[in-house]
Amino acid sequence: MRCHYSNYPRNIQLTKKYFGTDGIRGRVGEMPITPEFVMHLGYSAGNVLASSEWHLSKGERPAVLIGKDTRISGYMLESALQAGLSAAGVDVLLSGPMPTPAVAYLTRALRLQAGIVISASHNPFEDNGIKFFSAAGTKLPDVTEHAIEAGLKAPIKSMPSAQLGKARRVNDARGRYIEFCKSTFPNHLDLRGLRIVVDCAHGATYQIAGPVLHELGADVVAIGAQPDGLNINLECGATHSAALQEAVRLHRADIGIALDGDGDRVIMADKKGVLYDGDRLIYIIAKHRQQKGLLKGGVAGTLMTNLAVENGLRKLNIPFARANVGDRHVLELLQKEGWQLGGEGSGHILCIDKHTTGDGIISALQVLYAMRDSAKTLPELAHGVTLYPQRLINVKVPKGFDSRANLAIRAAQADAERDLDDSGRVLLRPSGTEPLVRVMVEGESKQKVKHWAEKIADIVRNAAAE
């Protein structure tokens, strides 16, 4: 959304009340994920659109695409968003269940003013959230999110009936996106002869990931593809890998692919069920692109990227830089450096020469491209980087708790860093979506990593309870 900001106060506070690192998220039925709030959110976003400087024909209304994952609450929130947008005079296109990156693509392809996704990604079904995409298929800039939040202070005032927004379904959305995914895989290659297990997490990719792989020639075994509104991410998908590993071994598959509930992250498994997280998948893609002369610049990771990946890329003379955690920050770093590849160990991988946002299916296809082009297996492609032991402990804390202000926590972190020396790292950071402090310790010594992670987590826990 490109907003005409003269209609909004120029002294909008920099701190956002509702928007986090990945949109607005929370427990359904509790603020801000209530039908009343979401309707108001749609109305405010619609007003930002209506006041934007779009090149629209006279009398033409701005239009927004709404997609969702398979949570039962998506029906309620979809209706609330639609009502708010319509009241603001914005037309609404409805795609039904659709991966987050599909909404980003369709927003661009249909020349719409914005896209909205109703999803809480890898969270359980009791949670939900709202994400926005700009007309360019990218996350909204901070200033637009500020403008939307500022508009929440005004009451809803419906447009006259003749100026209300209309709604319609996009019946070919799924087919459009399947063809787009396939277009990112080289025409001269196919997946014939490969048996692939794909775990869709009972989420938004359940009608898409399997067909993409099948139409490229693979023998596909789909699991986690029977959503009932309550089972999204339940013991399956990218965040619960045991189901993928078991299915790969059971079906004697060549490779396994696990996506999360909204389809923007991916992990993979080899034929033995050994997992490959986002860090190693990025290394594989980068190494293959370098060999093909297709790597533009370097690779962007985050503060959480395993140190072994950075060292492995350095040995290949591939530049590496770290951004703050979150694919939004990775994208900003890629744009700043003029690079095309980056991501996180969690499986958010950005190939911005292929798509404007992280896409689990397209990222998996880039790894499959490396496999087919080189005739190598995942273990062979990942040779050269052995991940350092890394321990991540999430500690629940009160809202607003600042671990950096606590002297005992800072002292423990300093002690750990001295002990690990140059062979490890310590990182404490607040979650952007939950009341947690994430304690991460990484190093060559598994024993030291375990010791310091647990010790620092205990100190954070005690400090939070005071």
| DSSP category for residue 437 | E
- Helix pair angle (360-374, 278-292), 10° resolution: 50
Nearest one of 212, 236, 240, 239 to 225, comparing CA atoms: 236
Query: How far is residue 38's CA from residue 33's CA, in Å, rounded to a whole number?
Result: 7
Coil, helix or strand at residue 311: helix
Query: How far is residue 425's CA from residue 318's CA, in Å, rounded to a whole number?
Result: 21
Residue-by-residue DSSP string for 78-144:
HHHHHHHHHHTT-EEEEEEE--HHHHHHHHHHTT-SEEEEE--TTS-TTEEEEEEEETTSSBPPHHH
Query: How far is residue 213's CA from residue 132's CA, in Å, rounded to a whole number?
Result: 28
- The residues that are catalytic are 121
* Per-residue CA distances from 222 to 207, 208, 209, 241, 251 (Å): 10, 11, 9, 14, 11
Burial of 153 (0-12, 13-18, 19+ CB in 10 A): exposed
Burial of 336 (0-12, 13-18, 19+ CB in 10 A): exposed
**Beta strand 127-134 pairing with 219-223:** unpaired
| DSSP category for residue 216 | T
- Per the CB < 8 A criterion, the answer to whether 114 and 187 are in contact is no
The tokens for 17 are 């009340």
Query: How far is residue 364's CA from residue 103's CA, in Å, rounded to a whole number?
Result: 18
Nearest one of 424, 419, 426 to 460, comparing CA atoms: 426
